[in-house]
Amino acid sequence: MDESHERRETEAYETDAVVSLSGVTKKYSGGVTALREVDLEIGRSELIAIVGPSGSGKSTLLHIVGTLDGPSSGTVALAGHQVSRLSDRRLSALRAQHVGFVFQAFHLVPGATALANVVEGLRYSGLSHGERRRRAAEALERVGLGDRMEHRPHELSGGQKQRVAIARAVAGEPDVLLADEPTGALDSASGEAVMDLLRELNADGATIAVITHDMELAASLPRQVRLRDGQIVADTRAEAAPHAGTAGAR
């Protein structure tokens, strides 16, 4: 497929959903089916928990929503772009522009300052170095680390490291933020502070999907999608979700 055809493919798809999966199945060699006919839409400005036990398909779903992997069958759309037939180069560009990732293990560069870590996350944004530094500083201010910009990871607490990771993820203003067990490596107080930050970002308009095994944390969010054996077994919404004391390591 040539690039002009790819552009027509992406521009032809219109949806109000930031993420749209239809009939998505993922099979691996050896006969393992990680996802089975998954249909899922995540609307703009939603805060959603994708929850399930180990082996339920959460990580596979994260990889497919984040375009780190493709489905064996079914269709995937991200921010109005059909992604299934894009070349690796265009897919990488789409991911860099539209998706932010936050991982349990932080994935910060050990010898780099908080500011440098966030600047590095904008490397493929196409922005000038000065603009990347400006956006990185603004993102760190936004997550409450304006006074920690020159600190390196070993000088930060676990909760502060995760805030740097969140700043790195939101600095590029992605359409969706994927947070994979964001409180799993934190104590309860730090975990709750991180979840409060994610709620604040959502209140400001960010679309956030939290991938977790923690049923209590999931129950504190407005929408919960439960996975088991690669299938969505429940998709529920709460009128008003409680959140006090629900995050942290279990």
Fold of 3-237: Rossmann fold (3.40.50)
**pLDDT score of 100:** 95
227 neighbors 50 (Cβ within 8 angstroms): yes
- Angle, CA 148 vertex, CA 146 and CA 154 arms, to 5°: 155
- Is pLDDT above 50 for 26? yes
For 40-62, how does the pLDDT look when each residue is reduced to its tens digit (9 = 90+)? 999 999 999 999 999 999 999 99
Strands 231-237 and 223-228: antiparallel
- Is pLDDT above 50 for 204? yes
For 108-141, how does the pLDDT look when each residue is reduced to its tens digit (9 = 90+)? 999 999 999 999 999 888 889 999 999 999 999 9
44 neighbors 105 (Cβ within 8 angstroms): no
DSSP 68: S
Specify the pTM. 0.87
* pLDDT tier for residue 239 given thresholds of 50, 70 and 90: low
Q: Find the mean pLDDT for residues 69-78.
A: 95
Mean model confidence pLDDT for the chain: 89
Query: Rounded to the nearest 10 degrees, how much is the dihedral formed by the CA atoms of 16, 17, 23, 24?
Result: 150
For 137-154, how does the pLDDT look when each residue is reduced to its tens digit (9 = 90+)? 999 999 999 999 999 999
- Is pLDDT above 60 for 220? yes
Q: Find the mean pLDDT for residues 212-216.
A: 94
Spell out the domain ranges in the chain. Answer: 3-237
